[in-house]
Amino acid sequence: MKDGFIRVASASFEVKLGNVQENAHQITEQIKIAHEKNTQILVFPELCLTGYTLQDIFFQARVLNEAREQLLMIKEYTKDLNMLIVIGLPLEVKNKIYNCAAVLFDGEILGIVPKTYIPNYHEFYEARHFASAPQENIDIKIGDNEYISFGSRIIFRDVNHPYLQIGVEICEDVWAPLPPSTNHCLNGATLILNPSASNDLTGKSDYRRQLISTHSAQCVCGYVYTNACLGESSTDIVFSGHHLICENGVTLKESQQYENGIIYADMDIEKLARERMEMTTYENQFDDKYWTYDFEFNDVDLELTRYYDPHPFVPSDENKRAIRCKEVFDIQIHGLIQRLKAAHIQKVVIGISGGLDSTLALLVATMAYKKLNYPLTDIIAVTMPCFGTTSRTKNNALMMMEECGVTSLTVDIGDAVHQHFQDIGQDPNIHDVTYENCQARERTQVLMDIANKVGGIVIGTGDLSEVALGWSTYNGDHMSMYGVNVSVPKTLVRYLVDYISSLYKGEKLEAILQDILDTPVSPELIPADDDKITQKTEDIVGPYELHDFFLYHHARFHYEPAKLFRIASIAYQNKYDKETIKKWLTLFYRRFFTQQFKRSCIPDGPKVGSVALSPRGDLRMPSDADVSAWLQECEKL
């Protein structure tokens, strides 16, 4: 289970009602297929060994005895496969019949879990045949000398990979108000397996999908739901074989309905465990009625089939992306509105460079003022050209300010910066970090002093990606009174500006915003070459899309460098080679750790997504933390 990944599968076949031997043969055939694909956990449907729709034939001793015999045969077949397999069958225990899931591993029956909630409404009448699971676990005899644990409170634990703990429930159990899987998870289970026989109805597949996905999110678990398919009786109902493999609210894989076969997914069990560690409301229970049974998976270095979105902050679907952009824009707007109301301030000052970040900040302020019915002229937008400013960015800044109807100021800081160079003995021909930062700090001084003059506050424009990398000048563009972009990643900023431009369809502002979108990202602190931008940020710190990917998985799931490198190599396999990914991943870790001192005193700003770096909320980190362990692992990649 390298890096916490395990391959799970749901399998169904055309069941032969009452022909237990043939069903057992089909089960072993599918086990063989799944094993060849490095599957470690395989789940079959409810009562698949006999068929779910046998009705009163379940009372026949021949069927019950044959089910036991074939279970033992399948058990022997699983020797040396190193697979955990769940099979549904009826079992007679103490003069009652139970709807059960047998859990097999390497030639052993680890345990048998009976169904807890027995449906007896509408098209279901299981209570005619089956008893509900007993309140406490017991041992039962299967075969000549084999005693097996029988009960609904059993956890199956992989001793080699402690994050992997498995609970089992059956069909209706998950539809109950308090599913057994909820208690399983509170008692340590990270993966729930559900052999099911849920018939199809109009709209039911949508509900089923939502149910399983949502339940996996509530329990912060993986969930494998395997449904009965073709072969069951169609006297009154039909089964479609709707399998679902979900992980914490995300559907990793879904079957094509009315087609028997196997679906596979690579589940990240370690990620689930990490999620629970952070959730203080996820409280463990230590129910002494639970029994734990150990097994040992061998390590399998899977060639992952799992998809990783190269842009985790940006929905790939156009409609979902528009919804996301509207939500983020609304949060930014109303965060600023609340700050203005609370501070009893009506004027704001924003530095406008003609780049994406300052453009977004101005658009946020403009919309906030419209909602507050404040005069737009109380937004003081300041462009401060200097050595690296090009006419393209300056003109875009001026035209945008005009179209937004805000107060526009131009303050050329060239003379002031030259004077400062003289004051500190800086050679203006040396384009080093001092040369750059003097400009950034002069701009912030201008903004702060104008804000004092007009009785307003300075709105920060820096985004989340810059905060993560420390790509700002300390006490320069790093500082403001309220940062509206502080938790918006760079990859999303671009789509936000594009979304907002669509709100001005056909207007001059739309064309201006589109040209800003086409302008290379640059701080413009190095002199331009023939009025062309010479300093491109991504040439220095690397592609923002890579850094946003690193940031999302590092901050959200705390992946180790090797795992982050592995999934980045999958996400960008058609764009960046592994050496390129390693180079920028190493830089990401170095800058993320060494630049924490800037984040420790970052201004207020609204959180818009699941990843943010405010020291007051999402990231409490010492500024002097040592990055060596992360860099050492990067070096080994």
What's the rounded Cα separation, in Å, for the pair 180 and 46?
Answer: 16
CB atoms within 10 A of CB 193: 30
Would you report the helix, strand and coil content of the chain in percent, each value rounded to 5?
A: 40, 20, 40
One-letter identity of residue 81:
L
One-letter identity of residue 17:
L
Q: Are 282 and 543 in contact (CB under 8 A)?
A: no
Find the catalytic residue in 48, 75, 100, 115. Answer: 115
Tokens of residue 388, six digits: 């690296």
Strands 222-227, 191-196: pairing is parallel
CB atoms within 10 A of CB 400: 26
What's the rounded Cα separation, in Å, for the pair 62 and 50?
Answer: 11
Find the catalytic residue in 100, 171, 386, 404. Answer: 171
* Residue 115 is a catalytic residue: yes
What's the rounded Cα separation, in Å, for the pair 358 and 383?
Answer: 10
**Can you name the residues that pair with 86 across neighbouring β-strands?**
43, 103
Look at residue 201 and give its three-state secondary structure.
coil
- Picking from 224, 182, 203, 202, the residue whose alpha carbon sits closest to that of residue 86 is 224
Q: Are 596 and 623 in contact (CB under 8 A)?
A: yes
Residue with tokens 């063989």: 32
CB atoms within 10 A of CB 127: 12
**Can you name the residues that pair with 7 across neighbouring β-strands?**
266
Please, what is the angle between helix 318-343 and helix 356-372, to 10°? 60
Look at residue 348 and give its three-state secondary structure.
strand
What's the rounded Cα separation, in Å, for the pair 114 and 91?
Answer: 9
What's the rounded Cα separation, in Å, for the pair 446 and 562?
Answer: 45
Instruction: Give alpha helix (H) positions in 344-413.
Output: 356-372, 391-404
Contacts (Cβ under 8 Å, ≥6 apart) of 111: 103, 148, 149, 150, 151, 154, 156, 291, 293
One-letter identity of residue 96:
K
Q: Are 263 and 245 in contact (CB under 8 A)?
A: yes
What's the rounded Cα separation, in Å, for the pair 508 and 528?
Answer: 27
What's the rounded Cα separation, in Å, for the pair 380 and 454?
Answer: 9
Cα torsion through 165, 170, 171, 174, rounded to 10: -50
Please, what is the angle between helix 391-404 and helix 508-517, to 10°? 150
* Residue 46 is a catalytic residue: yes
Q: How far is CA 570 from the centre of its chain?
A: 16
- Picking from 272, 120, 113, 123, the residue whose alpha carbon sits closest to that of residue 201 is 123
Find the catalytic residue in 46, 172, 270, 466. Answer: 46
DSSP summary character for residue 480: -
Q: Are 227 and 263 in contact (CB under 8 A)?
A: no
Would you name the residues annotated as active-site residues? 46, 115, 171
